[in-house]
Amino acid sequence: MFCKTFHATHPDMMDSVTNDELRSRYLVQGMFRDGEINLNYSHNERFVIGGVVPGAAAIALPAQTEPASAAGRPFLERREMAAVNIGGDGAITVDGQRFAMKNKECLYVPMGSQTVEFEGQGARFYLASLPAHKTLPIKHITLDQANPLARGDLQNSNQRTIYQLVIPGVCDSAQLLLGLTVLDEGSVWNTMPPHLHDRRSEIYLYFELPTEADRVMHYMGEPDEMRHLVIANEEAVISPPWSIHMGSGTKNYAFIWAMGGENLDYTDMNVLDICQLK
């Protein structure tokens, strides 16, 4: 059912790790393949992330295959999910209710949903799912309905707009927080200074890198033991609670951030001074 399972890690496991081992533990690749749905499982908060590229035919969210006792049950039996379209026009149908999905629009799909189908030639859906303890209303969220936060400036190469999509006041959820950040032309830093979430894990999906040659340098690890990953378009990186997360690209880009943990407080973070990093 899952292309890859990512295990939770201790910061000591970063000691002497090779670059390939670092990529294997935290970098999620190959999610967006024509005509496929590809899901990955992370033991950090029991996240599931993946991509759907419907192409000419609709693709359904698969039923559970494990454990054996749950085989055949709906994938969202005990989960909630957000789907963001990062491609052309498409649609998502949930239990017979169809939602037209334009670029950068989000659909929150609640726990207990039975069938979810994706369609649209040129559509590319990013999925982020977490365990849930209650059922909430399904909601289609456009950028106009999101909560926008203007941050940074061109002088510091980090002028950007944070669109909060699945967050209290915009869309209720059990534990998922999700948003989309778009950097202005001339800006490359996605956050500065970096921060830590001791009580939640976060996953970044980088997309809209202008060319195949462009990359994001994603910085991670403990503040005084920093490492980096070189990330291509439409790849994601898992940030454990002990790891900072920030990045700088060769050009401006966009990214989707998804968080899960013990509360829904977006501001619950430990902001670091750049001088603390090494």
Token pair of 226, please? 């920093």
197 is an annotated ligand-binding site residue: yes
Cα four-point dihedral sign 209, 213, 219, 220:
positive
Question: 188 φ, ψ to 5°?
Answer: -130, -20
Burial 34-51 (b: 16+ CB within 10 A, else e): eebbbbbbbebbebbbbb
Q: Which helix (H) or strand (E) holds 205?
A: strand 200-207
Tallying the residues shown for the chain, one arrives at: 278
CA 184 to chain centre: 20
The residues, ordered by sequence, that sit 6+ positions from 249 with a Cβ below 8 Å of its Cβ are 183, 188, 190, 206, 209, 214, 215, 216, 217
Pairing of β 4-6 and β 36-42? parallel
Query: Residue 133 annotated as binding?
Result: no
Extract the annotated binding site. Answer: 195, 197, 202, 245
Extract the annotated binding site for Zn(2+). Answer: 195, 197, 202, 245
